[in-house]
């Protein structure tokens, strides 16, 4: 019978394959052993570059109003306070809650950068909680933004016109632009008493807001008293001509003030002289103490109260005053500014006692 031809098997390929498997297993065991010695996870972290995911978060591609409010809250609240059992640490051990506040404390209180930081809480607050619906939401110009044409024009008027000339020009400027001028001047070039009176006019405020920055301007005790206009003596035929459709004079009921800010200015104002329509009250760096015990009676609608950088609140008597204040009577309070003050856990518990939602205490 014929002999069958046998094909020789390639044993070298099988041998190399087995050797590679053995080496791979040894490398894996060596890697896991080294990771165990280093007390590190056995698996490697995920790769930094993933090509099957979006390059940007969806919140940056499609921002919403809720994201903006969250960014404002994160700017003032970098971390929430941690409750620790036991007594409070000594004052010398405590550190500022934000490096931005520490930087602002080291700057001169008369510089524009310090005023910008001190007024940031009032100017960046949502108008929905401070101003009534329908009011214009405008704020001052910041350093990292490009100024608008309206703000450039207001800046030229502010720098080139005297107080007498501003009093003649202001009736032709809308109230919301006057409010922008007051905010811009409060940060960069504080207004004098005559200039502030010229901008606010007979109403005593600019679109429901009044910002008084010292030391060249103060708030008189009779500032909010009703002013009798000289139009009462004007004949009826001239009054009818002024009330035309294109007149810039306000028609209907007189406007009211909703926001009052006093910065580094001595004031003889008492709470009984404040209008009850105020929802935003800021008393920042006031040299003399202000009695706030009757504030819920005279201004019951206050939703934002800023008392930052007041030296008379840093002492032991000031801390006791804050802890014993009747916070429960301010039913609409949502934001409390105490930057530069020592906020204790006792004060936080007193502020939020009996409330459904906690108050944002910014310190």
Per-residue pLDDT reduced to its tens digit, 82-114: 556 667 666 556 544 444 444 444 457 788 899
Query: Residue 9: which pLDDT band, with cuts at 50, 70 and 90?
Result: low
Q: Structural domain boundaries of the chain? A: 94-133+204-223+256-362
Measured between alpha carbons, how far is 151 from 160 in angstroms, rounded to an integer? 14
Q: For residue 82, what pLDDT is reported? A: 54
Angle at 147 between CA 143 and CA 148, to 5 degrees: 155
Helices 175-188 and 193-200 meet at what angle, rounded to 10? 160
Query: Residue 222: which pLDDT band, with cuts at 50, 70 and 90?
Result: confident
Whole-number Cα distances in Å, 114 to 90, 105, 325 = 27, 8, 28
Q: For residue 69, what pLDDT is reported? A: 47
Measured between alpha carbons, how far is 165 from 163 in angstroms, rounded to an integer? 5
Residue 186 token pair: 């409060």
Higher pLDDT, 217 or 243: 217
Residues 330, 305: contact at Cβ < 8 Å?
yes
C-beta atoms surrounding 76 within 10 Å: 20
Give me the CATH topology for the region 94-133+204-223+256-362.
3.80.10
Q: For residue 49, what pLDDT is reported? A: 53
Prediction pTM value: 0.63
pLDDT (tens digit per residue) in 18-38: 888 888 888 888 888 887 887
Higher pLDDT, 322 or 226: 322
Q: For residue 84, what pLDDT is reported? A: 60
For residue 248, pLDDT beyond 50:
no
3-state secondary structure of 206: strand
Q: For residue 250, what pLDDT is reported? A: 46
> Average pLDDT of the chain?
75
Q: For residue 228, what pLDDT is reported? A: 39
Q: Where are the beta strands (DSSP E) in the chain?
A: 209-213, 259-263, 280-284, 304-306, 335-337, 360-362
| Residue showing tokens 């934002």 | 304
For residue 55, pLDDT beyond 70:
no
Measured between alpha carbons, how far is 339 from 75 in angstroms, rounded to an integer? 13
Q: For residue 32, what pLDDT is reported? A: 83
Query: Residue 277: which pLDDT band, with cuts at 50, 70 and 90?
Result: very high
For residue 326, pLDDT beyond 80:
yes
For residue 73, pLDDT beyond 90:
no
- Give, as one character, the DSSP assignment of residue 262: E
| Residue showing tokens 């894996």 | 28
Residues 182, 153: contact at Cβ < 8 Å?
no
């Amino acid at each position: 019978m014929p002999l069958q031809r046998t094909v020789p098997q390639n044993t070298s390929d099988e041998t190399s394959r087995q050797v590679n498997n053995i080496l791979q297993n040894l490398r894996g065991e060596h890697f896991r052993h080294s990771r165990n010695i280093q007390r590190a996870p056995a698996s490697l972290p995920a790769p930094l570059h993933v090509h099957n995911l979006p390059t940007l978060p969806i919140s940056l591609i499609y921002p919403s109003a809720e994201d903006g409010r969250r960014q404002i809250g994160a700017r003032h609240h970098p971390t929430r306070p941690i409750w620790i059992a036991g007594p409070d640490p000594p004052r010398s051990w405590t550190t500022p809650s934000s490096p931005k506040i520490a930087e602002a404390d080291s700057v001169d209180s008369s510089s524009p950068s310090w005023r910008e930081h001190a007024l940031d809480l009032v100017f960046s607050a949502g108008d929905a909680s401070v101003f009534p619906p329908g009011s214009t939401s405008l704020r001052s110009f910041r350093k990292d933004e490009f100024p608008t044409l309206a703000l450039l024009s207001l800046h030229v008027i502010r720098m080139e016109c005297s107080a007498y000339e501003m009093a003649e020009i202001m009736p032709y400027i809308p109230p919301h632009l006057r409010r922008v001028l007051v905010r811009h001047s409060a940060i960069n070039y504080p207004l004098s008493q005559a200039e502030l009176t010229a901008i606010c006019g007979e109403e005593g405020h600019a679109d429901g807001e009044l910002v008084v920055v010292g030391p060249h301007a103060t708030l008189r005790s009779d500032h909010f008293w009703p002013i009798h206009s000289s139009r009462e003596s004007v004949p009826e035929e001239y009054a009818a001509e002024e009330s035309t459709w294109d007149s810039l004079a306000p028609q209907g009921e007189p406007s009211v003030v909703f926001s009052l800010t006093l910065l580094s200015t001595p004031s003889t104002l008492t709470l009984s002289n404040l209008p009850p329509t105020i929802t935003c009250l800021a008393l920042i760096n006031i040299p003399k103490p202000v009695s706030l015990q009757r504030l819920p009676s005279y201004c019951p609608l206050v939703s934002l109260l800023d008392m930052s950088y007041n030296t008379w609140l840093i002492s032991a008597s000031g801390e006791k005053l804050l802890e014993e204040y009747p916070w429960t009577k301010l039913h609409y309070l949502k934001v409390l500014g105490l930057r530069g003050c020592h906020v204790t856990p006792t004060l936080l518990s007193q502020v939020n006692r009996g409330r459904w939602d906690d108050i944002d205490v910014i310190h």
